[in-house]
């Protein structure tokens, strides 16, 4: 789509107000009356006026999908950097600071550089209508075009076919991570329709890596590859990734790799890591050969991707729960993410028997009932929150109703602190496992609150 599902007012879109970039971003958010407007015309216009920075980029890995985009990107980045490559990366939304979105040759863009690039785009755009996500994506591409790097990892904001990032004519690799139901109001009501939109990033004669998919989705992607002449590599057919004896085994036509398990938690991360390894294999040899087995192992051990089944081990929020209680954070927000998350928490429960208690906030456009259904019989209690300062948040009371439909008993909480105190009271000081979940916007606020 031509905009991501975030705006400057969203919780994960808030930044330190001492930054001048915040003032510019607020202005840019007023340039178009709609958050999402399905067209690439405005993007192409501004890119042309800026001298086509999208044509002056290092090799691009373009990543679309419903779940796993950010994790897959993080694995590729960690392994490539461990191999000595300079990497650009573009993600959305951010968690704490906007600067996280634009990762330039190994670090988040600096405040002075961000201000300069935003001001240039604003000046060249000259007040013409353009969405917030469109103009900030153009700013990122401009920044990437001016700093040398070996690789650019470009994450789709929403959809694929009409997403603002879909201005790269010949990516080094196109990647489609698992597709599920999300953003139906923009992408369609069925997996087949959504898959058709995601397939829009596939390009003629370019390599494509396809993560594990529902059979109907896989059929759509296979037909799209055939029609375009793309060169696909399919999970479960051309490559396999699985856990064996506490190790990650990756196998493709070139052989077998025995690697450490990824640092990120959850069985689904085996699939994401496998997809990333397939991406490395699909890169031009001049790049892939620089990322040897040692670099791949180091990247898997050191990868970081906050708010994806992340355990909070320090910070003031830990002071609100009994000693021995685990506090976990996850930003997944659709039914497929709920299924993967519930599976991971169930496996933890099988190992140690710690009861699971949940705290959830979610945007009102999301399927809260579908997200919560996998937790039926697993979660001992659920507290719901209205995400503070987030106009798109579902109310805590509406989430209680969604939980009831999913077969869970829930209570609305005043805020996060009260939710933690409520859970502490019902556990009577017995160590438990608490999961804060349902939204990247809530996750960003939690990370800020926890320092």
Same domain, 176 and 70: yes
- What is the CATH classification number for the domain harbouring 46? 3.40.1190.10
Is there a single domain that holds both residue 370 and residue 331? yes
- Cα separation, 372 vs 243, in Å, equals 27
Q: What is the pLDDT of residues 5-33, one digit of tens each?
A: 444 444 444 444 458 999 999 999 999 88
Helices (H), 29-131: 41-49, 69-82, 111-125
Question: From residue 343, how far is each of 56, 124, 267, 348, 380 by CA, in Å?
Answer: 43, 49, 8, 9, 15
What DSSP line would sit under 229-283, residue for residue? T-EEEEBTTTEEEEEETTEEEEEETTEEEEEEPPSS-STHHHHHHHHHHHHHHHS
Q: Are residues 173 and 298 in the same domain?
A: yes
Residue finishing a domain among 276, 302, 328 = 302
pLDDT averaged over every residue in the chain: 93
What pLDDT does 292 receive? 97
Query: Which pLDDT belongs to residue 180?
Result: 85
* Residue 100, domain member (yes or no): yes
3-state secondary structure of 142: helix
Asked whether the beta carbons of 393 and 363 are under 8 A apart, the reply is yes
Over range 175-179, report the average pLDDT.
96
For the segment 148-169, the average pLDDT, to the nearest whole number, is 95
- Mean pLDDT, residues 94-99 taken together: 94
407 occurs within a structural domain: yes
Q: Do 430 and 284 belong together in one domain?
A: no
**Tokens 């001049």 -> residue:** 286
Same domain, 140 and 244: yes
Round to whole Å and give the CA distance between 208 and 173.
Answer: 5
Same domain, 95 and 243: yes
- What total of structural domains would you count in the chain? 2
Run of H or E including 371: helix 368-372
Provide the token pair at 20.
Answer: 């001048």
Q: Are residues 431 and 334 in the same domain?
A: yes
The pLDDT value given to residue 18: 53
Q: Is residue 6 part of a domain?
A: no
225 and 348 belong to one structural domain: no
Strand ranges across the sheet with 410-412: 310-312, 326-329, 433-437, 356-360, 379-384, 410-412
What is the share, in percent, of the chain residues with pLDDT greater than 70?
A: 95
Give the pLDDT confidence of 424-447 residue by residue, as tens digits: 999 887 889 999 999 999 999 999
Q: Does residue 330 sit in the same domain as residue 277? A: no
Residue 135 confidence (pLDDT): 97
Structure tokens at 392: 């798109």
State residue 431's pLDDT score. Answer: 87
Alpha-carbon distances, residue 209 vs 7, 69, 281, 314 (angstroms): 30, 12, 10, 37
With respect to residue 24, please indicate whether it lies within any of the assigned structural domains. yes
**How many CB atoms are closer than 10 A to CB 411?**
14
Task: Please report, rounded to a whole number, the percentage of residues in the chain having pLDDT higher than 90.
Answer: 88
| Within a domain: 42 | yes
- Its domain, for residue 73, covers 11-302
**Are residues 234 and 122 part of one domain?**
yes
Residues 347 and 296 in one domain: no
Residue at a domain's end among 302, 324, 352: 302
pLDDT band at 36, cuts 50/70/90? low
CATH number for the domain that contains residue 326: 3.90.190.20
1: in domain: no
Within-domain flag for 201:
yes
pLDDT digits (tens, 9 = 90+) for 51-60: 999 999 999 9
Interval 68-87: pLDDT, tens: 999 999 999 999 999 999 99
Where does a domain end: 285, 302, 319?
Answer: 302
62 and 171 in contact (C-beta within 8 Å)?
A: yes
State if pTM tops 0.85. Answer: yes
- pLDDT-based confidence at 243, cuts 50/70/90? very high
pLDDT exceeds 90 at position 394: yes
């Amino acid at each position: 789509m031509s905009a991501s599902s975030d705006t400057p007012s969203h919780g994960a879109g808030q930044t330190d107000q001492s930054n001048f970039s915040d003032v510019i971003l607020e202005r840019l958010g007023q340039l178009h009356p709609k958050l999402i407007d399905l067209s690439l015309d405005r993007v192409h216009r501004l890119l042309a006026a800026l001298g086509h920075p999208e044509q002056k980029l290092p090799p691009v890995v373009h990543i679309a999908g419903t779940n796993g985009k950010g994790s897959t990107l993080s694995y590729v980045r960690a392994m490539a950097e461990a191999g000595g490559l300079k990497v650009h990366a573009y993600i959305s939304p951010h968690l704490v600071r906007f600067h996280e979105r634009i990762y330039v040759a190994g670090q988040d863009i600096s405040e002075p550089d961000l201000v300069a690039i935003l001001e240039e785009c604003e000046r060249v755009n000259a007040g013409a209508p353009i969405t917030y996500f469109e103009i900030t994506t153009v700013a990122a591409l401009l920044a990437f075009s001016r700093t040398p790097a070996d690789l650019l990892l470009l994450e789709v904001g929403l959809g694929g076919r009409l997403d603002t990032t879909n201005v790269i004519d010949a990516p080094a690799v196109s990647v489609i991570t698992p597709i599920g139901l999300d953003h139906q109001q923009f992408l369609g009501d069925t997996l087949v329709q959504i898959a058709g939109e995601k397939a829009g990033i596939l390009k003629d004669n370019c390599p494509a890596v396809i993560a594990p998919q529902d059979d109907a989705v896989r059929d759509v992607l296979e037909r799209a590859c055939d029609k375009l002449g793309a060169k696909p590599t399919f999970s479960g057919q051309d490559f396999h990734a699985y856990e064996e004896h506490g190790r990650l085994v990756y196998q493709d036509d070139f052989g077998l790799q025995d690697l450490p398990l990824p640092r990120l938690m959850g069985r689904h991360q085996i699939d994401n890591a496998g997809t990333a390894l397939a991406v490395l294999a699909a890169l031009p040899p001049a790049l892939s050969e620089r990322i040897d087995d040692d670099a791949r192992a180091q990247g898997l051990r050191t990868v970081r991707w906050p708010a994806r089944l992340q355990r909070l081990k320090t910070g003031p929020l830990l002071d609100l729960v009994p000693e021995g209680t685990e506090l976990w954070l996850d930003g997944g927000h659709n039914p497929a993410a709920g299924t993967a998350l519930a599976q991971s928490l169930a496996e933890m429960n099988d190992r140690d028997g710690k009861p699971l208690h949940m705290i959830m906030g979610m945007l009102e456009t999301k399927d809260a009932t579908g997200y919560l259904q996998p937790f039926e019989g697993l979660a001992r209690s659920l507290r719901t929150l209205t995400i503070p300062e987030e106009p798109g948040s579902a109310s805590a009371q509406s989430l209680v109703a969604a939980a009831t439909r999913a077969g869970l008993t829930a209570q609305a909480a005043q805020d996060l602190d009260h939710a933690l105190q409520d859970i502490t009271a019902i556990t009577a000081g017995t160590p438990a496992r608490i999961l804060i979940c349902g939204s990247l916007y809530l996750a960003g606020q939690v990370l800020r609150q926890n320092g």
